[in-house]
Amino acid sequence: MKVLVFGSLNIDLIFSVDHIVRPGETIGSSALEKSAGGKGANQAASLAKAGMKTYMAGKIGADGKFLLELLQSYGVNTDHVAQYEEATGQALIQLDKKRQNAIVLFSGGNALITDDEINRALTQFGPGDIVVLQNEINCTAEVMREAKNRGLKIYLNPSPYDEGINNLPLNLADAFFVNEIEGAALAALPQETSFSVILENLVKKFPHAEIILTAGKDGAFYGFDAIREKGEIIDLPVTDTTAAGDTFTGYFIAARARSLSVREALALACKAASIAVSRKGAMASIPFAKEVFV
């Protein structure tokens, strides 16, 4: 089994602030850090660190070549990442003293992927393989259709959530990875809806797909057909929540690929995410398999 993450690659600029800036306000930053990010790249790093044979597809500018080097150092194959002359995607991240974040994205190459690049990337994949998608590139619908035509399983993390999600061929997805905000929006429910109600509505709406709902300190929930499971976090000090969901996604997929049960996969993915939030950074915070599969 091979896993192709077709998604975003970003340069993260992380500003350490007292609080998230308010409209019309100017505040100082006590530190600035440049690092690798993008939900696609983070999930590829998580999958590779978890021991999966992982491939990355996307698009970067010359300023993003260090992203490829970092991914390669974790074992990710980056042959399907296209390069062009303009800017790599950027993420401006405010990280406050309570370790919560607010993020502004500039798409860069993430919004300029072509049909030819999609076809070239998918050529080496077929039945039994998985494509993992988010919502930070311009061609998610096209990738879903072409991947399904080639017999791949489609795992969709509709994040960041926007109204364009409803225009995707959601019936093609084999699994949805959502947090409570994304899950409520996907189920057309108010944001204050309980986790259990969100889960049940998504299972009913997408009976063909597994639903994996992450819930922060409340762990994670799983629903498919009549199966319901829950995973619990490990109580560790929270330092940076930036890549928690991406870490969870990679480790859940990797655990299931090892033929572990849903309950075991939830527990291990929650463990990996708990470790990640106890560390600074995005990819750098993601634990390696030896730290999780023990």
Helix (H, G, I), strand (E, B) or coil at 154: strand
CA neighbours within 13 Å on the CB side: how many for 231? 28
For residue 197, give the amino acid letter: V
Tokens of 81: 């990442």
Give 10-residue mean pLDDT values along the chain (294 residues): 96 93 96 91 98 98 95 98 95 88 90 97 97 97 98 97 96 98 97 96 98 96 98 91 93 98 98 95 92 94
210 contact partners, CB below 8 Å, separation of at least 6: 174, 175, 176, 222, 223, 224
**pLDDT at site 240:** 81
Strand 210-214 relative to strand 220-224, pairing: antiparallel
Is the CB of residue 282 less than 8 Å from the CB of residue 8?
Answer: no
- Cα angle vertex 84, ends 82, 85, to 5°? 165
**pLDDT at site 33:** 87
Q: Among 277, 268, 285, which residue's Cα sits nearest to residue 229?
A: 268
CA distance 183 to 120: 32
**pLDDT at site 91:** 83
**pLDDT at site 281:** 79
pTM of the model: 0.92
**pLDDT at site 128:** 94
**pLDDT at site 87:** 93
